[in-house]
Amino acid sequence: MSIKPLNNKVAVQYLKDEKEEKTTEGGIVIPDSAQKDEKPQQGKIVAVGDNIAEEGKEDPVVVGDLVVFDKYAGTKVEIDEEEYIILEIKDVLAVIS
Amino acid sequence: MSIKPLNNKVAVQYLKDEKEEKTTEGGIVIPDSAQKDEKPQQGKIVAVGDNIAEEGKEDPVVVGDLVVFDKYAGTKVEIDEEEYIILEIKDVLAVIS
Amino acid sequence: MSIKPLNNKVAVQYLKDEKEEKTTEGGIVIPDSAQKDEKPQQGKIVAVGDNIAEEGKEDPVVVGDLVVFDKYAGTKVEIDEEEYIILEIKDVLAVIS
Amino acid sequence: MSIKPLNNKVAVQYLKDEKEEKTTEGGIVIPDSAQKDEKPQQGKIVAVGDNIAEEGKEDPVVVGDLVVFDKYAGTKVEIDEEEYIILEIKDVLAVIS
Amino acid sequence: MSIKPLNNKVAVQYLKDEKEEKTTEGGIVIPDSAQKDEKPQQGKIVAVGDNIAEEGKEDPVVVGDLVVFDKYAGTKVEIDEEEYIILEIKDVLAVIS
Amino acid sequence: MSIKPLNNKVAVQYLKDEKEEKTTEGGIVIPDSAQKDEKPQQGKIVAVGDNIAEEGKEDPVVVGDLVVFDKYAGTKVEIDEEEYIILEIKDVLAVIS
Amino acid sequence: MSIKPLNNKVAVQYLKDEKEEKTTEGGIVIPDSAQKDEKPQQGKIVAVGDNIAEEGKEDPVVVGDLVVFDKYAGTKVEIDEEEYIILEIKDVLAVIS
């Protein structure tokens, strides 16, 4: 089974060693200034939409890229017991290499 | 009886085996961080509007496609005891194949 | 007496058999997740503005069409003891036929 | 004394027989669902701005037209003890004839 | 000393006889429906920015015009003990003549 | 040490004689209607970005201009014990001369 | 390991001597007027995206520039125990030289 993001969206797979234990389980809203110690999430691009490039430019990310993205953007999707996050390309902050 | 979405909208039929038991019946607002375990909804495209493609491109979904969409977008419609959700194409996240 | 919606607006007449008994009379704000059982409203197009089509396309609805629209969009108007709702075309979700 | 609305605005004079007794005097905010019985306001166009038409089209209203408009749009103006409401043309819903 | 508004802004001098006694001094937020009896402010245009006209049109107001404007728009400025309000042209509702 | 604002921003130096004693020290939010007696801030332009002019026009302010700006816009910056405010040009209301 | 911001974003490294002790640890929301004594953050540009220039202009910042930016914009990223902030170029206020 494969996933194909639409338009300006990309699918990212979380890095296995990512720590999430700082997230409150009760769903409390944590103001920005309290989140300073939390890492934005990192992951690997597994699929990209057809429209992620700026006009006339190359795609800013390709499958396999390690990226940093805003922890509070995007939507989680679970397919075949594997978890992905689907983000608009504007919420991908940077590529790490 | 058939349904024809307008413009940039699509009609999706829920997958029968979808679990919804995690939704609170009382209508409590659940903050984002508490929803991490919930699957975004999946369904099958049953009809599309005339304007779902980016300019000069093909339609990103066709009738029959299995798609993932944001659980909190769109409007439910019940026609002939069958339930649909009508979404703008931008709220369809990805096609699964 | 006749009604002519302006620009991108349409006038819709409610279907007579529509059930509304689930609406709270006190005006309580019902969160989205509590409204899942309510049908969006359906009605018949009785008049359309001059600018409801996408550029270079045909009008997406014509007088007489049975449509589904978002219950929380538009403005109710009572003329000659007949009730209409005036909606922007973008809030008409689909045509049923 | 005369009034000339600017740009995309129109001046409307209330119809004398309009009932307003359902409005709370204390200024309580009434949620949408509680306002279902209230008529949007009706009035007569008394002056129009120079820019109320869509590009390349005729003015959608002319002085003397009876119109329906959203009760909660626009700004009331009192000139020479006569009360007007000044609205953007987009908040005029329909012409009644 | 003179004042020159920038771009799409105009400077208005209040009419001397304007009544303001209905404004609460404590800064309470008064909902819209409670303000029905209050006049929007009127004043005289004393200076205009270089960009108040719609493209290819004449300036909609000139120095000396008596105008009606939304009481809650703009910013008050005091220069040489004279009070002005600086408004974007879109918040000037109409010219009175 | 010098400061160069980016793009559509300008740097303003406060006038020395500006009174600020009316600002609450505890950070209470003061509603608009309570601020009527407070002057918007005035200052001198000390540096401008490369993109403060409307297309095809001259810069609306130059270094040395005395300007009025909205007290609640912009960001304060302290460099070499001198305090500046950096504003988008749209938040500069008028030039005083 | 290196970081490459996407599109209109830049990566900034905090200046070592920056004081942060005025930030409340509990995550209390501090209204604007209470923050007057706090410096916006300063840092050094360490990497830039491919699309930070206005159309047809040069990049407004280059690697190595000392910049002032809005303290409440951007997202913190920690890579190899070094902390960066990734900002859209519009949130970089000025270059200091």
CATH numbers and ranges of domains, chain G: 9-18+36-96 (2.30.33.40)
Among F82-96, G16-30, G39-53, which range has the highest average pLDDT? F82-96
Work out the pLDDT band at G34, boundaries 50, 70, 90. very low
- B43 CB contacts (<8 Å, ≥6 apart)? B12, B13, B14, B15, B18, B66, B67, B69, B85
The residue-averaged pLDDT of G52-78 equals 91
Residue C34 burial class via C-beta count within 10 angstroms: exposed 0-12, middle 13-18, buried 19 and up: middle
pLDDT for residue D27? 58
Q: G96 vs chain A: nearest CA distance in angstroms? A: 25
Distances (CA, A) of G93 to B75, E50, F3, F7: 42, 26, 10, 9
Cβ pair C76:D31 closer than 8 A: no
Verify E-D touch: 3 or more CB pairs within 8 A: yes
| Chains A, F in contact, 3 or more Cβ pairs below 8 Å | no
Return d(Cα E75, Cα E92) in angstroms, integer. Answer: 13
Question: Rounded mean pLDDT of E41-51?
Answer: 94
- When pLDDT is cut at 50, 70 and 90, the band that residue C39 belongs to is low
- Number of residues that this document lists for chain A: 97
Instruction: Give the integer Cα–Cα distance in Å for E79 and E81.
Output: 5
Tokens of A67: 């990226």
pLDDT at C37: 46
What SS3 string covers C27-67? CCCCCHHHCCCCCCEEEEEEEECCCCCCCCCCCCCCCCCEE
pLDDT for the residue numbered D71:
81
Select from C39, C61, C96 the Cβ nearest to the Cβ of B3: C96
Q: Per residue in B61-90, is it b (16+ CB within 10 Å) or e — as a string?
A: beeebbbbbbbebbbebebeeeebbbbbbe
Amino acid sitting at position C8:
N
How close D60 comes to chain E (CA, Å)?
19
Query: Is the per-residue pLDDT at C61 higher than 90?
Result: yes
Cβ within 8 Å, pair B39-A5: no
Report chain D residues whose CB lies below 8 A from the CB of C30.
Answer: 33
Q: What is the least distance, in Å, from the CA of G18 to any CA of chain A? A: 15
Strands G41-48 and A66-69: what pairing? unpaired
Contact across the interface for C77 and D39, Cβ inside 8 Å: yes
CA proximity to D42, closest of D72, D8, D76, D14: D14
End-to-end C-alpha distance for chain D, whole angstroms: 28
pLDDT beyond 80 at B14: yes
Residue G87: pLDDT band with limits 50, 70, 90: very high
pLDDT average, residue stretch C74-93: 91
| Radius of gyration of chain F from its Cα atoms, rounded to whole angstroms | 14
G9 vs A34, A40, A94: nearest CB = A94
Residues of F in contact with G94 (CB under 8 A): 3-6, 9, 11, 47, 77, 86
Average pLDDT for chain A: 81
- The confidence score (pLDDT) of residue G28 equals 58
In tens digits, chain A (97 residues) has pLDDT values of 799 999 999 999 987 654 444 445 565 554 444 444 455 589 999 999 999 998 888 999 999 999 999 888 899 888 888 889 999 999 999 999 9
- The answer, for B18 touching chain A at a CB cutoff of 8 Å, is no
What's the token pair of residue C34? 């509590």
Is the model's pLDDT at C40 over the cut of 80?
no
Q: What is residue G94's predicted lDDT score, i.e. its pLDDT?
A: 96
| pLDDT at residue C29, rounded to an integer | 55
Tell which of D25, D75, D81 to mutate to test the E interface (max E CBs under 10 Å).
D75
Residue G24: predicted pLDDT: 52
Please report which confidence band the pLDDT of residue G61 belongs to, taking 50, 70 and 90 as the band edges: very high
Higher per-residue pLDDT: F15 or G21: F15
- Is B4 an 8 Å CB contact of chain C? yes
Chains that touch C (3 or more CB pairs under 8 A): B, D
Structure tokens at A33: 């200034």
Q: Tell me which residue of E85, E50, E55 sits closest to E67, measured CA to CA.
A: E85
Contact F9, F86 (CB under 8 A): yes
DSSP result, F33-64: GG-TTSPPEEEEEEEE-TT-SPTTS--S--TT
Query: Across D51-55, F38-42, F86-90, G18-22, which has the greatest mean pLDDT?
Result: F86-90
Q: Sorting pLDDT into bands at 50, 70 and 90, what band is D12? A: very high
Q: How confident is the model at residue D56 (pLDDT cuts 50, 70, 90)?
A: confident
Give me the mean pLDDT over the C33-56 stretch.
Answer: 78
Mean pLDDT of chain E: 81
Tokens, residue C5: 């919606």
Q: How far is CA E38 from CA C84, D10, E50, in A?
A: 32, 20, 32
pLDDT of residue D18 exceeding 80, the answer is no
Q: Mark yes or no for CB contact B7/C90 under 8 Å.
A: yes
* pLDDT number for residue C22: 42
Contacts of A18 in chain G (CB under 8 A): none
How far, in Å, CA of C4 to CA of B88, rounded? 28
Residue C80 distance to chain B (closest CA, Å): 30
Q: Judge whether residue E33 has pLDDT over 70.
A: no
pLDDT grade for E14, boundaries at 50, 70 and 90: confident
Selected for mutation to probe chain B from C51, C52, C68 (highest B CB count within 10 Å) is: C68
The mean per-residue pLDDT over the stretch F64-78 comes to: 91
G and A touch with 3+ CB pairs <8 Å, answer yes
- The residue count of chain F comes to 97
> Nearest-CA distance from D79 to chain C in Å?
28
What are the φ and ψ backbone dihedral angles of C74, each rounded to 5 degrees?
Answer: 80, 175
Calpha distance B85→D64 (Å, rounded): 44
